[in-house]
Amino acid sequence: MNEISPKDRAALHLPEPTQRQGISDADDLPEAFRALNRIQAAAASRLTGGLSPVGLSLAVMDWWMHLLMAPGKQMQLAQKAVRKTARLGLHAATMASGADPLPSIEPLPGDNRFRAEAWQQPPFSLWAQAFLLNQQWWHQATHDVPGVAPHHEEIVSFTTRQVLDVFSPSNSPFTNPEVIARTIETGGQNFVQGLRNWLEDSRRTLMKQPPVGSEAFRVGRDVATTPGKVVFRNHLIELIQYAPATDTVRAEPVLIVPAWIMKYYILDLSPQNSLIRHLVGTGHTVFCISWRNPLAEDRDLSMDDYRRMGVMAALDAVTDIVPGARVHATGYCLGGTLLAIAAAAMGGAGDQRLASVTLFAAQTDFSEPGELALFIDHSQMRVMEGMMWDQGYLAADQMAGAFQLLRSNDLIWSRLVKDYMTGQRTPMTDLMAWNADTTRMPYRMHSEYLQRLYLDNELAAGRFMVDGRPAALQNIRVPLFVVGTERDHVAPWRSVYKIHYLADTEVTFVLTSGGHNAGIVSEPGNPRRHYRAARQRREDHVIGSEDWLAAAATRPGSWWPEWTSWLDAGSGPDRVAPPALGSARHPPIMDAPGSYVLQR
């Protein structure tokens, strides 16, 4: 069993171990060995981009050996290869005869590479059909192989898909009709401009500068502009209180706990799509945490530090500024998971300061965390911990690679085609500029988060300890409002839905269109938005996610008004005069958006 280091022992307030007699200095060797392992892992991570080659090798070997021992699966794949070849041959013959052939296969939902009209013409349609049929065959080859561990199956399937995408006809200037047409139109100048774009992007990456166009979305000037004051600051957070926009407000304030993996102003982008401005405009007193961007010296900040110095410190300040009022607490992504832990601990301790809890795209059960789990297993943890131990934090660019691979068609290949082959810049948006405004993760906190939640699933199992007691989600007795998004690669909605199986209170669940970020930034008036919503009372029987999906009708528009109406219903009947900005104990420090959000 690994010994606790003196630094960790002091941080956890544990007594020093009793010194045994007759033991030589060799007792120091286990820690030295661990340090040697970390040094090796840190060196390996620099060569592999933070990915574990051992984990990938084990997955490939598991799949390959079991496929060799599955003659039935081999025969099925051979049969499918023959049938797909015949379908492609029929498509080619029909096309050669001058007729308009029906496609042999359609792209998967969300795959827009071959949607343009030019891809329906020969020979481009033949190339696209061949690629899609090949992609489908490899999907079948990497799934349902008897004996393969599910995690290894997903790793092999994901890796195969990434390799296939490299050879997609859409990614070659010689087989992409849109690039060819652009080349003819510009006389080849598109490649000259594409080279300029690539050189500019490379320079900015090397200089750690934001991408082209992000200067149009400056924090405090163009985004994060809702008026307010920083009313509390400690080493980890600044707490912003927003100025009222109505003559009267609901008595119960709203406290927002964003994720520290992102800058808080995802919820306060441009004025027209700012959730915080929307809340203030509908008569709510709003507070929001802005997290410090940690440095190497913050390496030993723990998850409990984030709970105590973040959620609980902010809640103490809010209840001092708005005395006597219960608080509508709201958490987003990791911030939602931390809020659920804090609310469960408060419930177990009899702390009744919360009026409700809202969770945006936040998981509480990590047994099925989606594709992000491809990058989180014991082998990957060793490499990642070595990398974080070496520098004291997980850097933004080390996280970005995993997120980009999850949506490689949208975030990598489409950009390669548009920016570097057609020479046309992808227009910058406020959401894209925010996404490029990156943060870091402290070594100890992130290690605990991945180990205790992703790998060990302690929260759902009732084993996550806070102040010596389990943070049992059943102790949350206030109403829950939970939002999942349809195309979430980080917190899949079916995983978010599992709060129904863990909570012992009323749950209103909303499933909205969009992904992890765009689904939450869902401003009213956008004609492409829709959502579903249903309430489960405490006495109702719990139903599965698929039954819920079948029963909940689709509603057009944004889910924001649904949430504000729910907050209103859970607040007192009388509106009151807005509270002052700050209090005697928490006077205003500076204007919003504060200083922590500007840290690089």
Count each helix (H run) and each strand (E run) in the chain, helices first. 23, 17
- Alpha-carbon distance of 70 to 430, in angstroms, equals 51
Confirm if 559 and 583 have CB atoms less than 8 A apart: no
Handedness of CA 384, 385, 390, 392 (dihedral sign): positive
CA distance 445 to 451: 10
Closest Cα to residue 366, out of 504, 445, 480, 461? Answer: 461
Say whether 480 sits in a helix, a strand or coil.
strand
Cis peptide before 593 (omega within 30 of 0): yes
Instruction: Find how far residue 274's CA is from the centre of its chain.
Output: 19
Is 288 in the active site?
A: no
Give dist(CA 414, CA 160) in Å, integer.
Answer: 19
Instruction: Give the C-alpha separation, 571 to 356, whole Å.
Output: 9
Token pair in block for residue 220: 């405090």
* Amino acid, single-letter form, for residue 545: S
CA angle 226, 229, 235 (to 5 degrees): 115
Q: Of 473, 471, 475, 495, which Cα lies nearest the Cα of 484?
A: 495
For tokens 């544990």, name the residue.
14
589: exposed, middle or buried (Cβ count in 10 Å: 0-12, 13-18, 19+) = middle
How far apart (Å, rounded) are the C-alpha atoms in residues 554 and 171?
36
- A 10 A CB-CB count for 261 gives 20
| Set 155, 333, 340, 491: catalytic member | 333
Going by C-alpha positions, the residue among 525, 564, 521 that lies closest to residue 264 is 521
The C-alpha atoms of residue 454 and residue 236 are separated, in whole angstroms, by 24
Cis peptide leading into residue 123 (ω within 30°): yes
How many angstroms separate the CA atoms of 437 and 563, rounded? 28
Tell me whether strands 465-466 and 469-470 are parallel, antiparallel or unpaired: antiparallel
Structure tokens at 252: 């119960």
Residues 226, 582: contact at Cβ < 8 Å? Answer: no
**Cα-atom radius of gyration of the chain, to the nearest Å?**
26
Q: Which of 276, 176, 175 is nearest to 226 (CA)?
A: 276
Distance in angstroms (rounded) separating the CA atoms of residues 10 and 311: 23
Tell me which residues are annotated as active site: 333
